[in-house]
Amino acid sequence: MQTRIPQTAVVAALLALCAPAVVQAYDTPDLPPAASISTSAPPSSPLKLPALEVSSQKVSKPAKLAEDDAFREKDVWGRIRSGYAIPDINNELVGKHATWYATRPDYIARTTARASRYLFHVVTELEKRGMPTELALLPFIESAFNPQALSSANAAGMWQFVPGTGRDFNLKQDAFKDDRRGILASTDAALTYLQRLYDMFGDWQLALAAYNWGEGSVQRAIKKNQSMGKPTDFESLADLMPAETRNYVPKLQAVKNIIANPAQFGLNLPVVDNQPYFTAVDKTSDIDLTIAAQLAELSVDDFKALNPQFKRPVITGDEQTKILLPKENAEKFHLNLAQWGKDLSTWTTHKVTSARESISTLASRFRTTPEVIRQANNIPQRSMLKAGSTILVPRISTSANIDIAPEIADNATMAFEAERAASGKSAKGYKLAKSNGKVEKSPVALVKPRVPRNAVSSKAHRKNDN
């Protein structure tokens, strides 16, 4: 934890960090694509504030004092403000993005409401590592704090990891779970990755650019400017970056400015109590997701908001697998679990041995309907399972009270293809693509960017905002 600048000084200095504003396209699903919105026409009432520079130097202090400081604030927004440590930028793009947010209070309300579940944990982890606390706002840019967000580049979760980078940072991805979406695992991986990038470049703005564009791309841009005798700071490299990366740090700066003084932008932030929102609960055996939510007295949607990594109707895994619950609901969970007296899971696995095992045949064998099997395993209509696939099926008496073995969950694959006519082709005669639930790990040099290396336009990843 670092020495805090007095809060009055911080607020006074940060009142003026926004440049003249112009509406800028933004990559959210409730708005038109970036390419369809003008980036040059000024808004009817731009927000204009004078610019002030604020020191971004952080100074180490003993852990006990750091802990005392953390809990002195009444809400988490105050902790974030007091830990700002990335040098500020003040340019036209910052103003554009600040105006975009300020003119969409509904979007801000929706995003900050989601963020309120996760911010205490993220800020606490940043403070433990001595990292700038405005990094807690990065999911605002990445996913609108939606852990179910999935980009067009297959980047998933609150921190938007692509599959390869997720594996590089030990985020497990199998048929039953995707830790890229998990709150604890993905936050730990994202902060580890960001610190590694900072250690590599010695500059937080370049580290953020590398998080979005890939460190190899940033390194090449630095070498190009060096060869021409030009500076290598973020703004000097911006012209070499694709539009998404060029806008990335200004977007974060815009959010920093708004969080520093929301009233200046006509916005209200929800109060986020400076105390843990959730706690981890041990899972001692397989448990249906719906039963877990019922025992915790939560809606399934609220349960999934804290446990988005679980992809199937049953939560498998060994004793190290935990579920997250609001503190008061964790107490209810334990009380209700002690009185449950029934099976916690109604699912088991079955390995398809031949093409003769159609979904209809399996449904009859396991006393259910084809639609239940398709839904539980995300099997498209008019498709058939290939031999070797491992799927979820309802438990019957012969498999009662037997948990799914960890090695089965870890190695389960599922492949399917379109139902074929007698000719061996689809009904329309087309050769259809196949889907395999298990992606083989391939060697990677460093990590993979989420912006195509040849990106030259402002076309950005679209994030889900459900």
Which residues are the active-site residues? 142
CB-CB contact of 125 with 188 (8 Å)? yes
CB-CB contact of 2 with 86 (8 Å)? no
How many whole angstroms separate alpha carbon 191 and alpha carbon 136?
9
Class of residue 71 by CB neighbours under 10 A (exposed 0-12, middle 13-18, buried 19+): exposed
User: In the structure encoding, which two tokens stand for residue 126, read together?
Assistant: 């940043």
CB-CB contact of 298 with 329 (8 Å)? yes
* CA-wise closest residue to 178 among 399, 434, 378: 378
Bridge partners, 280 (sequence order): 324
Strand-strand pairing, 287-288 and 314-315: antiparallel
CB-CB contact of 362 with 351 (8 Å)? no
Q: Which DSSP symbol is given to 437?
A: S
How many whole angstroms separate alpha carbon 255 and alpha carbon 159?
16
Q: Element (H or E) spanning 390, and its range? A: strand 390-394
Name the residue type at position 74: K
User: In the structure encoding, which two tokens stand for residue 337, read together?
Assistant: 């679990």
Bridge partners, 436 (sequence order): 415
User: In the structure encoding, which two tokens stand for residue 88, read together?
Assistant: 């500020």
User: Largest alpha-carbon pair distance within the chain?
Assistant: 77
How many whole angstroms separate alpha carbon 93 and alpha carbon 18?
10
How many whole angstroms separate alpha carbon 269 and alpha carbon 255?
12
How many whole angstroms separate alpha carbon 458 and alpha carbon 428?
38
How many whole angstroms separate alpha carbon 321 and alpha carbon 419?
37
Give Cα 66 distance to the centre of its chain.
27
Class of residue 372 by CB neighbours under 10 A (exposed 0-12, middle 13-18, buried 19+): middle
How many whole angstroms separate alpha carbon 348 and alpha carbon 27?
40
Radius of gyration, CA atoms only, the chain: 25
Which residue reads 């006990």 in tokens?
A: 64
